[in-house]
Structure 1
């Protein structure tokens, strides 16, 4: 058989559908990890599978005839997924970056546009008789689309873009608050998720231009190559979905989430604390040196001290005037200073000193040392031995 069933553009959409369905099925049956995050990501991927299906049915020659034979209701129905795709991504990100996150009633607000459009769609399309639908599908095309539908399309893309912005802001907030719970930020790499969110942000900006291009081409007579823009988005989404699956599978364990209460209740914290607790923290850090562990977190330290994580965070923020990241790395710098002036460490490399002091990142070590000591670790050691020899 030599007949070509699908062109390259159709294959990109088919691959996207296949990958999304396969990975969503895996997530739904997965028993490990955060179940809510897994379910939200699975729903997001199902929405991502429905969107290329909508494109294939409405614009793919091989699929269009097949869909007509089954039911005219298949047309446009999969397009409902456009309205839920990004809200699901936002909730997925929220479930990743917030510890013990639970869905709230207010989260339903993100789906109001979907409900409104679904209601309109039911009356405008689904309620029509089959004969009317078939006539519209066989005799109509993009050039004859009503202006109202073009305006709704434009509004939809603006809505998707605005929720994408919220996704980005959620990540920014997480990155700002993460220093309250982690002493080694290199172990919490946000790059892959930022690339994903920014990627979809660009795709949604492009979709706005596509909607504007359609209005200009068919309402104003100013021809814009909106088809090329649309095809570019299809390939970009395939790349983003593939990246999401690859990176989320390899990095999902790093997302332990931040305790939202640590950030939201900071202004309500008392200005003074029990001296016993403060003394206990200081004594434990000096005697046991828990900061030498590269993987130390707020929860780890709180467990070792027998103090609640929120209480410990309150003391560190209010009494010591630091976030957890700064607090632990202060002790690590003090330890590195001690190590640098030991006779047996005169020829030891800075990487070894850094490792012995609990640092896992050369950049963090050098930055903090220069900030707190006023000179680089190398210069500090050199000055110490020069001064000692001069005496």
Structure 2
């Protein structure tokens, strides 16, 4: 165990309790949905972990460690399923938690029961005894299985997130407030935290005989409490906006073959009506303009132009930007101002798309075009 530290213990208590309050606020929302419930569970399980460590230090300072073994708060097997179902619920508008999904939380129930047995109490205490208690190996196996559970669910959650972001690019030309990129960080942090924690503690135990424990134990859980509060805060803000999650229901439209007429129709609409200037242009809007259904438009763009919807629309925006930079009346406008007029919604998206499309930054391109123009005028003279 680490030495009691009132300051770090207080920080853990404060952030962990605030995270739990955020989780409670999510559950108290009038318009309740599954994402609120699973985010609350995710916050709760991680905040519980941090509170667990803070409680250890408080009880230890009062010589009450025997009591702690009867009120163990650690619930590793709830973290993975909560993370997975939260990711599912914010990316899939059709998601419904069914009775068969409860099976994912059966290990959590078994874990709770395990912590109420002598296998846990004697096994955990045995870590600090020489030789170890026979139950210690049982306790360590349970801990590593918990880490394995978190890792597996984390990988699955990242795959769900990847599929969702791929879907987004087939339906939207601007991804701001839709991509859920913020969710990658906590998913990876949470997984890396427990894997790194178990490896670090085992190295400390076998190589350094726990001499390093005082330097990393409490600071690590301070970080966990802060990250947990952060994901709770971000998730709460996210819950106030409408999700753009994909639908998993298969379209009833017949399977389509590449159709040159549809491709010509889409291309003609993009050139003549310039719908890409609308920053809110999405697959549904373009489908209405060309009088085709979304699946027909999406498949035609994929097959005829070898691009997804996001790349297709932003390609036109880049060409429009390049055209407008040559117009004398636009000389006083900033590059970002021109980008917004061409349909982009953010500087980062514009710069990223422009660099991928042209291999240059916008300023490099403009400077290059300026030099070309000056050279032509010089030759003409």
* TM-score of the alignment, normalized to the shorter chain, above 0.5: yes
**Contact 2:172–2:282 (CA under 8 A) maintained in structure 1:** yes
Give yes or no for the alignment of 1:97 onto 2:84. Answer: no
Match of 2:343, SS state, is coil
CA apart distance, 1:203:
1.5
Give the Å deviation of 1:19: 1.1
Match of 2:344 among 359, 367, 372: 359
1:240 Cα offset (Å): 0.3
Q: Larger % of helix: which?
A: 1
Quote the offset at 1:88 in angstroms. Answer: 0.7
Q: Is the aligned partner of 1:208 residue 2:171? A: no
Deviating more after overlay: 336-345 vs 37-46: 336-345
Distance 1:242 1:283, change over 3 A: same
Q: Secondary structure at the match of 1:359?
A: coil
Evaluate the alpha carbon distance shift between residue 296 and residue 377 of structure 1 in structure 2; reply closer, same or farther with a 3 A threshold: farther
Partner of 1:272: 258
User: Retained in 2: the 8 A contact 1:57–1:63?
Assistant: no
When structure 1 is superposed on structure 2, of 56-65 and 326-335 the one drifting more is 56-65
Number of the residue aligned with 1:129: none
Residues of 2 paired with 1:63 and 1:167: CA distance? 40
In structure 2, the residue matched to 1:31 is: 30
Residue 365 of structure 2 aligns with which residue?
376
Q: TM-score, normalised by structure 2?
A: 0.76
**Are 2:181 and 1:181 aligned?**
no
Q: 1:332 to 1:17 in 2, by over 3 A?
A: closer
Say if 2:319 is the partner of 1:334. yes
Give me the whole-angstrom Cα distance separating, in 2, the residues matched to 1:95 and 1:41. Answer: 10
CA distance in 1, matches of 2:240, 2:282: 14
5 Å-filtered alignment, 1:288-327, equals 288-302=273-287, 307-327=292-312
Distance 2:247 2:263 in 1: 23
How many Å separate the matches in 1 of 2:10 and 2:301?
A: 55
Alignment partner of 1:244 out of 226, 231, 234: 231
The 1:100–1:22 alpha-carbon spacing in structure 2 relative to 1, beyond 3 Å, is: same
TM (norm. structure 1) is 0.74
1:60 corresponding residue in structure 2: 58
TM-superposed CA distance for 1:235, in Å, is 0.7
What RMSD in Å do the two structures reach over aligned CA positions? 4.2
Is structure 2 residue 153 aligned with structure 1 residue 159? no
Distance 1:15 1:332, change over 3 A: same
* Residue number in structure 1 paired with 2:183: 193
Higher relative contact order (CA 8 A, sep 6+): 2
User: Are 2:212 and 1:225 aligned?
Assistant: yes
CA distance in 1, matches of 2:66, 2:327: 81
* Ranges in structure 2 where 5+ consecutive residues have no aligned partner: none
The 1:388–1:269 alpha-carbon spacing in structure 2 relative to 1, beyond 3 Å, is: farther
- Measured after TM superposition, the shift of residue 365 of structure 1 is 5.4
